[in-house]
Structure 1
Amino acid sequence: MFGQKHPRPHGTNAEDDEATKRGDDETAKDPLFFYSISRRRSVCKIVDDLRDHLYWTTPGGWLLMAHPGSRLTFLWNPFTRQRIGLPPDTEKFLTRNPVRCAFSHEPTDPACVVLVVNRADTVLWYCRPGAGAAAEWSEHGYYQADAGGLGAHHGRDDLIHGMSLVTAAGGKFYASLLGATVLTLEFSPAGPAFTETPIAEQSCHPMYRAWSLHLLESRGELFSVSLYHPLMERCDKVAQIVVRRLNLPARAWVEVDAIGDRAFLVDAARFGASVGAEEAGLKGNCVYYLRRGEKGLYVYDQ
């Protein structure tokens, strides 16, 4: 876990080129604050690879990187420092929009598709890593109100909200629409294609009517982590946590009592990841989570 000692950190949207350049000049030597969960201590260090770049986190640990001057983009592994080239952001969609990034497979896999979703509009962009200098990002608008389009059955705002939490599992991308529909997004040479699957309605908790939903992948399967809040206006408090696994053939989210030797990590921005607990030095069968507006890290033992 890390953050930057600056009010406008890398990975957020740049208002314009000049503001971005000023921010880079001012913070070129600013340190990053890392927090080791397993060691329970913070570390302050300068990471040269992040200098002069914007970055966005992904569940797989890689960072989507963009240089605001040259518009070059690439994936960077902070653990191995490996870089994998992506097409340049000639349209500046990364810096002009609030976005979420995910990829279908490991970036080293030839089948990998890098997906960037606009969290404020019904637009997405995608590419394949290492496709060469002539490659480009492809843009796709997914809101169509005709009989065969997603807009025929779902409101625009609902689609945007669901796609803003898009998560990859088993080589496909998934989004949940109000808990009643799961969208499956697949890519072929013909382009992106959505499939809608109605899901059995989840029973509401008898005491808590407000909750925050997080999606994450674990060993090729899709899970949801629901943080239940005691009051609608107190979403910074968590009263109960429920973990569910998607059973797509049964069209249901199935509650699970244990996640075994895995540890789930979720933050207040709906970002989720699954790691091997022993390898990461964490406690297995636990959900590590952050609460909105707080700096504390909390652990829920399944």
Structure 2
Amino acid sequence: MDKTNSVPCLALYVKHGADSDKPALFSISEKKAINNNIPGLTNTNSWVTPQGWILVRDTVSTATFLQNPHDSTDKIQLPHLSQNVHSSSTCLLSCKPTMPGCVVLLVEPVGTIIWYCHIGDDDKWDHEKVPICSIAAFQGKFYFNGDFESIGVLEFSPEPTFSSITITDPIIGGLGVVGMANVYLVESLDELYMVCQMYDSEMETIYDVTVYRMDFSKQQWCVAEDIGGRAFLTASCYFGASRSADEYGLEKDCVYAIFARDKYYEVSKVEDGETEEHELIEAPDSKGGTWILPVE
């Protein structure tokens, strides 16, 4: 069985070079570049998920499947995905892919289009136009566009159905000045969280990172003082994931954020927002980055 022990790691989408269709990989624990030995991983025809699985569109064999990054033999076949899907889309699974009714969802950040299919039930991908700017899978549904006023809910039964939750007693001022914050929704330990990264007026430096937990009984966002010893990992285009810090050599109760174009990542403590910057000294010029995570 072909396995690799390189996850979790950073994947930077290389702009140019002899092997430019392969992302450059960096070990977080060793803080150095590692060999790209993750099957199916490319710049333009693969999409990682917060659950660890990688959606792969093989343009040679015209096959599309979910790939376990830790085991090249572990694949789940899907209908072939259209070439029209944007390469910077974000992919999520509604639940474990082996569970009945699991939905694979792709969200295009540019065209505001979602693509979806039910594993084992659909013979093609469907799509629908809907504006989404943050999203997470939680208890079989997708929660999106979360802020201090409301949060959208997308459920497949089996067709997509949209609803919303109005936040009671929203925090005055919300996220501050519109457009000066990145918001990520993250599912962790059967809870839904919102990570808010506040930028300065130049939109260049993050000066505050706050994590909120959704209290569904009160329909309120509550400031989280910790995240249960986990680590949250965020990346551009709505990616937000959670992993055990102890199990994978990450820092407890911290948020990891990638700044691929500037060749560094930040680690912020949930308790007080204190942030450390880690340079990616060996990193090539890249157009973006994401996290490759083990399947849970």
Alpha carbons of structure 1 residues 216 and 5: separation in structure 2 relative to 1, 3 Å: closer
Structure 2: gaps (5+ residues):
1-8, 272-296
**Stretches (4+) displaced over 6 A:** 205-209
Structure 1: gaps (5+ residues):
10-25, 143-159
Partner of 2:247: 279
Partner of 1:169: 138
Partner of 1:152: none
SS at match of 1:279: helix
Aligned: 1:230 with 2:238: no
TM-score of the two chains, using structure 2 as the length reference: 0.76
Q: Is contact 2:40–2:56 with CA below 8 Å preserved after alignment?
A: no
Q: Which whole-Å CA distance do the structure 2 matches of 1:179 and 1:70 have between them?
A: 46
Query: Shift of the alpha carbon at 1:51?
Result: 6.8
Alpha carbons of structure 1 residues 68 and 124: separation in structure 2 relative to 1, 3 Å: same
Identical-pair percentage: 30
Number of equivalenced pairs: 259
Alignment map for 1:203-222 (pairs within 5 Å): 203-204=172-173, 210-222=180-192
Higher normalized strand content (fraction of residues): 2
Aligned: 1:107 with 2:104: no
Partner of 2:150: 181
Aligned: 1:55 with 2:23: no
Partner of 1:86: 78
Q: Which whole-Å CA distance do the structure 2 matches of 1:269 and 1:222 have between them?
A: 18
1:241 to 180, 186, 209: 209
Query: Shift of the alpha carbon at 1:182?
Result: 0.8
TM-score of the two chains, using structure 1 as the length reference: 0.75
Partner of 1:136: 124
Q: Which whole-Å CA distance do the structure 2 matches of 1:6 and 1:261 have between them?
A: 33
Q: Is contact 2:10–2:28 with CA below 8 Å preserved after alignment?
A: no
Bigger relative CO (Cα 8 Å, ≥ 6 apart)? 2
Alpha carbons of structure 1 residues 112 and 5: separation in structure 2 relative to 1, 3 Å: closer
- Structure with larger Rg: 1
Alpha carbons of structure 1 residues 268 and 51: separation in structure 2 relative to 1, 3 Å: closer
Query: Shift of the alpha carbon at 1:292?
Result: 6.7
Give the RMSD, CA atoms, in angstroms: 2.9
Q: Which whole-Å CA distance do the structure 1 matches of 2:126 and 2:175 have between them?
A: 45
Q: Which whole-Å CA distance do the structure 2 matches of 1:27 and 1:259 have between them?
A: 38
Q: Which whole-Å CA distance do the structure 2 matches of 1:138 and 1:34 have between them?
A: 32
Q: Is contact 1:32–1:44 with CA below 8 Å preserved after alignment?
A: no
